Amino acid sequence: MLNNFIFSINIAMPIFLVICAGYLMKRKGILGDSFVKASNTMIFYIALPIKIFDDLLKVSLKSFFDIEFILFIVLGVIANCILAWLIGLFLVKKSQLGAFVQGSFRSNFLYVGFSLMENLTGSIGLKAPLLIAFVMPLNNILAVIVLACTNTEGEQAIKIDLKDTFKSIIKNPLIIATIAGIIASQAGVKLPVMITTTMGYFGKLVIPLALLAIGAAFNFRKSSKNLLQTVYASSLKLVIVPIIAVYLAVIMGFNNEDILLIYALFGVPTATTSYLMAAAMNGDSDLAANIVMMTTVFSAISMTMFVFVFKTIGLV
């Protein structure tokens, strides 16, 4: 039992410690806002697309198009959004509802989730690109709908932003890398060692750089505001929803790697983009920022406990 707990700490805590290092370096003036902006740009447009393409070269068509897995994650995200909306109606003001719902269902699976998978299994998982191909566009669409329906602009906001959202999906470098990787994999493309080694270097950059950027972006000045609502959303995000998702995945007979990936989607901290969208669409940006911060801080505990359970029951 003690060995399982030590194993769990060794898996989850490095993620949190690198985030803390980013925060401390920002406080000491070593990292600045320009670092956060440049890091996010490089990860999103260069390093992560290269990593996704490289990983997909090893994936078979059958592994990628797992219809049961696709349906589970898509319907799960939609159900998570609806559940958070219904609960939020009773717990927060209408002006806070959009930020509350986003904070309760939108996961930072690209950075924290994939980091957890790397630590657990040595890779992000063969089906990780499914999360990018299906969940990322779905998250954007649901976020626009939620925020538009809970602010004063209503239908106008939905019409304008959904159009922009669909355009951004088509141009998204992660979606492009996913499609290109599938095509290259099924065509049997074999790249020279020089190219694959170079791509490997970029792939190794993604996780540490992303975690440092998350820490450097933190601002705790308004963390005491809307504390109760933040706790409600964080509990839903880190504990309640992942328990439900993992339980359903187990009883439906998914394999161990699929269950871990499902947890990496539903159980990791709230995505930082939820704050940006809340601010852009007249949502409660303070509440959104607080949820991101609290879920990130307390995920060190929640992820450790989930990994401990996974290790104890033999999923890891």
CATH number for the domain that contains residue 213: 1.20.1530.20
Let me know if residue 160 belongs to a domain.
yes
pLDDT above 90 for 183: no
- Nearest to residue 106, comparing CAs of 269, 232, 219? 269
pTM of the prediction?
A: 0.80
Kindly compute the dihedral angle of the four CA atoms of residues 104, 106, 110, 113, in this order, to the nearest 10 degrees: 30
Total tally of structural domains belonging to the chain: 1
Let me know if residue 162 belongs to a domain.
yes
Let me know if residue 293 belongs to a domain.
yes
Per-residue model confidence (pLDDT) at position 125: 66
By the 10 Å C-beta count (0-12 exposed, 13-18 middle, 19+ buried), 71 is classed as exposed
Which is higher by pLDDT, 194 or 60?
194
- pLDDT bucket at 164, cuts 50 / 70 / 90: low
Let me know if residue 249 belongs to a domain.
yes
**pLDDT tens digit string along 283-302?**
787 788 788 888 988 988 99
Which is higher by pLDDT, 251 or 152?
251
- As a whole number of angstroms, the distance between CA 32 and CA 29 comes to 6
Let me know if residue 314 belongs to a domain.
no
Let me know if residue 178 belongs to a domain.
yes
- As a whole number of angstroms, the distance between CA 65 and CA 185 comes to 13
Segments in the chain forming alpha helices (H): 2-27, 33-42, 48-56, 61-64, 67-91, 94-105, 114-121, 128-130, 136-149, 155-171, 173-186, 193-216, 227-235, 241-251, 256-266, 273-280, 285-313
Tell me the residue range of the domain where 113 lies: 2-309
Let me know if residue 196 belongs to a domain.
yes
pLDDT above 50 for 156: no
Let me know if residue 315 belongs to a domain.
no
- pLDDT bucket at 280, cuts 50 / 70 / 90: low
